[in-house]
Amino acid sequence: MKKIALIPLFVASLGIGALAWAGDAPDQCGKEHHRPMHHMMSMDPVPYLDKLVKLSDEQKGQIEKIHQEYGAQMRASHPRGGDWQIMTLDPKDPNYQNKVAELAKQNAQAAEKATLLHAEMHAKVMAVLTDEQKQTLLNRQQDMRDHMKDRKRDMNKS
């Protein structure tokens, strides 16, 4: 469960959430598509970013430190139970709507905090990269957007 909770953190923090692809893999149509990075990403995203932009040893160390710092903050701020808590409530309880509203409020606050932490982490990671590395990421993001538009168009044709 911890790995699943941390995967979005690492993807967003690297600023490559829109990329989310690394490595070629054929899909059902036989075309080469990219496998989602979050399926291959372990607790350490540095090797995948290194694969995309060729990090120096110093950059790897800096990014690893950033992820350790923010990973701990994200784990601490993540709401425990989430939607599962709703399943434990009795809809016949007269306070059901109030309890659901309170859970929604807690989840919204946690999501806001997570978004702000992601933004801080993203900024720090991007500050470590060279202009050329940043451009490589931007190009990959654009490639991904184009790829997704093509797939949507192809799906709408069928």
Among candidate residues 64, 8, 3, the one with its CA nearest the CA of residue 36: 8
What's the pTM?
A: 0.62
Task: Give the number of domains in the chain.
Answer: 1
pLDDT value at 110 more than 80: yes
Task: Please give the share of the chain, as a percent, with pLDDT higher than 90.
Answer: 34
Question: Which residue range forms the structural domain that includes residue 111?
Answer: 2-157
pLDDT at position 29:
44
pLDDT value at 86 more than 80: yes
pLDDT at position 96:
95
pLDDT at position 157:
80
26 vs 35: CA distance, rounded Å: 9
55 Rama sector, left if φ>0, alpha if ψ -120 to 50, beta otherwise: beta
Structure tokens at 158: 């069928």
pLDDT at position 40:
37
pLDDT, mean of residues 92-112: 91
